[in-house]
Structure 1
């Protein structure tokens, strides 16, 4: 067998060197430039028998590869992840609101993506550092991107409530495509200072969300020391100083399930008029449907939903146990949980976007 390297390229095997007499191998997970480079080096070395290349080691610099990855893929290839900038632009151009759904495990991820595929609205899938404590950010990336490899709807992987610059760095190193820095519990100047650093860390090709005003309620059983509404008079200055692409606001919304949580639409309108970037509403699980359905009129581009999904999964397992305390078919109960999560996510996406059939 002739093992000499042939560097011809065909449309069906874009960027792939082939060996004479040997079936060309397709590239691994993402076909990124760094992976193609490593693959070519390994395969060409000493004409050794071909072995699957190791995935390239991730670093902070790999976070910038998202847009390049899209350009390097052959036309018609499905896009596993896009930048949060792409989701923002797609939604604002079409008058849509992106749901931002928190995942923790495979069941939640499967349920979220199944709903996204049914409705077709660009979306954020996100995780907070508190919920990545068990798996780490890289596991979340691998799980989400693997499932999205079969999805043709634009989806970004977002860091939710990055409370430290270390969390921002870790998410970027894991190839997240959208970042939130949340220093809203600190005074205005400190919030600006740290948010500016987060902008410096986050490539301009990726989206950065920052928060002005402190949202109340509990996020993963953690409540802020104080809650404060967003001051419209600070909005333009804050956005200009931090360079954020989305502004999370506190306008009566609360994290988790808070009785009588309600949007102050007069305040939201004032912030909308003052902010040069689209707005983000946290605490979507606790808001009434009629309010969620109005948010597209207020330049809201992203609405976070977490508690609804977690409750759907926990409820599915609880109901299965109550029905049969000796239930041992984990796959059946997990499948029921996926279906319950899909139902919740689809309902939320449609509620946020009344124009979607």
Structure 2
């Protein structure tokens, strides 16, 4: 049976041994140098600033388009814009001339990505965009291209050579376009004073979302609230810690204020320090000034404090009063560790 086409070797020669690390470093150095060129190019034209200002005034959406590898970059830029407070849509340049152009509304703003700025699809698309009367930003390497000449704003990402040894595969050029898109998104979010709380509202899922919105109170209110009076006998302390299963208990004074904390570790250390255990009360073995955290603090901050102090629980307060405990196990259960 003859080999199927899928099993045929598409390469012209067998693989040869190469210095992989040297090649990898060369690619990274070339792309890093290209990004410095892109940064320098920003000072040569006011178009980038004008583009940011135009988008900030925008009542519609940013529609980002491209073809080939530029289309993939456009999709990522759209995702970044949407996640940082700028409504955006992706439109494939080829699909645009087969119906998708209808997604563009009069109050929208279009960013077209093309290294050369002279691809056939772009040359067909640009007149159609001009007919709609929407502002057009050209993210191009060739500032003299057809796309650049027709655009309202030119976002210049100069690239003289691809990292590909044949200078063919889009590598450096796509990195430059992606980085310039990131710069655009960050300028917009800073101009809008887009906060971590705003980011959290758009990223409620997964560990990232939990780090940004999950509060200490969301977890501590699910736990029991072990507490004893300062004059409580040792037996009561033991029962409270073992019964509430958090490895600690708060100790409150006569006014109901937090006097300290007793952990199961404190109990073990107590055995070597006192001979007459019957006479001990909570105030004799408590640790004063325990580490606390407010119910409105983020759970991620609770984790940071536990790690900093090498402890497994924090006393939770609300309006300065004892409100419970948050334990490392709570954070583990939510996937924050």
* TM-score higher than 0.5: no
Q: For the pair shown, which has the larger CA radius of gyration, 1 or 2?
A: 2
What range describes the TM-score normalised by the shorter chain of this pair? under 0.3
TM-score by length of 2: 0.26
